[in-house]
Amino acid sequence: MKIAFYSTKPYDKIWFETLNREKYGFTIDFLESPCKESSISLARGYDAICIFVNDHVTAAMIEELHQMGVKGILLRSAGYNHVDIGAARGKIEILRVPSYSPEAVAEYAMAMLLTVNRYTHKAYTRTREFNMNINGLMGRDLFHKTAGIVGTGKIGQAMIRICQGFSMDVVAYDPYPDKNLSVRYVSKEELFRDADVISLHCPLTDETEHLINRESIGLMKAGIYLVNTSRGGLIDTSDLIEGLLGGTFAGVGLDVYEEEEGVFYEDRSNDIMMDGELARLTSFPNVLISSHMGFFTREAMEAIARVTLENARDLEEGRVLKNSVLS
């Protein structure tokens, strides 16, 4: 099988090249170009393409891939909102990595919460300049505070365990509750009203898009902490900025952003930032933004490479496609 990897970074090559050489033997060509309409022609002559979270595959692109004889789209992610699933049915298989390291993302979400709460990033900057003044760096105990977990899949469950380890009172919302989970499920509205901390761990769908908006923010108590390590589209950025200006949030940790394509994972340090809302978010002293790196651990990268290449093998050998998003 010949596979064209789009949006390749150096760390992708490290894991995929080694594992492919040791076990699979596919022909893999790594492309730095993102997958978009202007670059989809690069897939000609390949059996499959492999894409990441900020690559978008439209219906027209799927039709072009189908005409070129491409059999599959391999996702290096769990989410698949960036691919037109409906257009792919009957034409091309789409295979994802449903679980790589739930703990990696959950641990990062807690790291973001601890950072915006206890100002460790600011303390680091101060002490590097021998400014040992702690004024303005006062945080809050998490002990017995209420953590509201939105989405109780594997990552949400990992976050619940972490919060319980901090002796937090945990409530959760999920349209499909897990009856075997030791957590109290509540409505979205009750979670927004009662939580001291909200952490988002749900996929981006039509139902969850802009889950955090002016209305839901209006239900939240003043001084709440919000962390999003899932998908940027879960939050209406304009409404979030409005809430920040209104003093609703004590701290916000964002590892994802609505319009991150073309910005996240890239070095734009010498460019003028044309996205006014992203520039505005970076100006708030109580907002911490990182570049969609919650998954980025050695264990997760190994798992992503392994499952992606297993998906390719299943496709090549006509096996049951257990990780198909079309089933």
Phi, psi of 29 (to 5 degrees): -115, 125
DSSP secondary structure letters along 27-49 = EEEE--S--STTTGGGGTT-SEE
Mean pLDDT taken over the chain: 96
In a domain? residue 327: no
In a domain? residue 325: no
Q: Which residues are catalytic?
A: 231, 260, 292
Task: Tell me, yes or no, whether 91 and 106 share the same domain.
Answer: no
CA 213 to chain centroid: 19
pLDDT at position 262, please? 87
Task: Tell me, yes or no, whether 32 and 112 share the same domain.
Answer: no
Phi, psi of 169 (to 5 degrees): -85, 120
Per the structure, the complete domain to which residue 24 belongs is given by 2-100+297-317
In a domain? residue 175: yes
Count of Cβ atoms closer than 10 Å to residue 100 Cβ:
24
Edge-to-edge strand list for the sheet holding 169-173: 184-185, 169-173, 146-150, 197-200, 224-228, 249-254, 287-289
Query: Does the pLDDT value for residue 99 go beyond 90?
Result: no
In a domain? residue 30: yes
Question: Of how many residues is the chain composed?
Answer: 327
Residue with tokens 């460790």: 120
pLDDT confidence band for 323 (50 / 70 / 90): very high
Predicted TM-score (pTM) of the model is 0.92
Closest CA to 166 of 202, 113, 123, 121: 113
Say if residues 193 and 215 touch (Cβ distance below 8 Å).
no
Q: Number of structural domains, the chain?
A: 2
pLDDT tens for 142-200 read 999 999 999 999 999 999 999 999 999 999 999 999 999 999 999 999 999 999 999 99
In a domain? residue 133: yes
pLDDT at position 91, please? 97
Task: Work out the angle at residue 109's Cα, subtended by the Cα atoms of residues 107 and 115, and round it to the nearest 5 degrees.
Answer: 100
Task: Tell me, yes or no, whether 142 and 174 share the same domain.
Answer: yes
* CA 141 vs CA 27, 138, 145: distances in Å: 52, 10, 8
pLDDT at position 261, please? 86
Say if residues 156 and 202 touch (Cβ distance below 8 Å).
yes
Task: Tell me, yes or no, whether 201 and 309 share the same domain.
Answer: no
Task: Tell me, yes or no, whether 246 and 123 share the same domain.
Answer: yes
In a domain? residue 324: no
pLDDT tens for 21-33 read 999 999 999 999 9
Task: Tell me, yes or no, whether 278 and 222 share the same domain.
Answer: yes
Task: Tell me, yes or no, whether 165 and 96 share the same domain.
Answer: no
Task: Tell me, yes or no, whether 195 and 221 share the same domain.
Answer: yes
Task: Tell me, yes or no, whether 178 and 214 share the same domain.
Answer: yes
Give the sign of the dihedral formed by CA 313, CA 316, CA 322, CA 323.
positive
Closest CA to 204 of 78, 97, 81: 81
Tokens of 146: 């209420």
Task: Tell me, yes or no, whether 301 and 165 share the same domain.
Answer: no
- The CATH number that applies at residue 91 is 3.40.50.720
Tokens of 248: 């609703």
Phi, psi of 23 (to 5 degrees): -130, -30
- Under the phi-then-psi rule, with left for phi > 0, alpha for psi from -120 to 50, and beta for the rest, what region is 254? beta
The three-state secondary structure class of 277 is: helix
In a domain? residue 224: yes
Task: Tell me, yes or no, whether 238 and 273 share the same domain.
Answer: yes
Tokens of 2: 């010949």
% of the chain exceeding 70 in pLDDT: 100
* CA 120 vs CA 115, 123, 255, 290: distances in Å: 5, 5, 17, 15
Count of Cβ atoms closer than 10 Å to residue 127 Cβ:
12
CA atoms of 272 and 95, how far apart (whole Å): 37
pLDDT tens for 165-181 read 999 999 999 999 999 99
pLDDT confidence band for 327 (50 / 70 / 90): confident
Task: Tell me, yes or no, whether 145 and 209 share the same domain.
Answer: yes
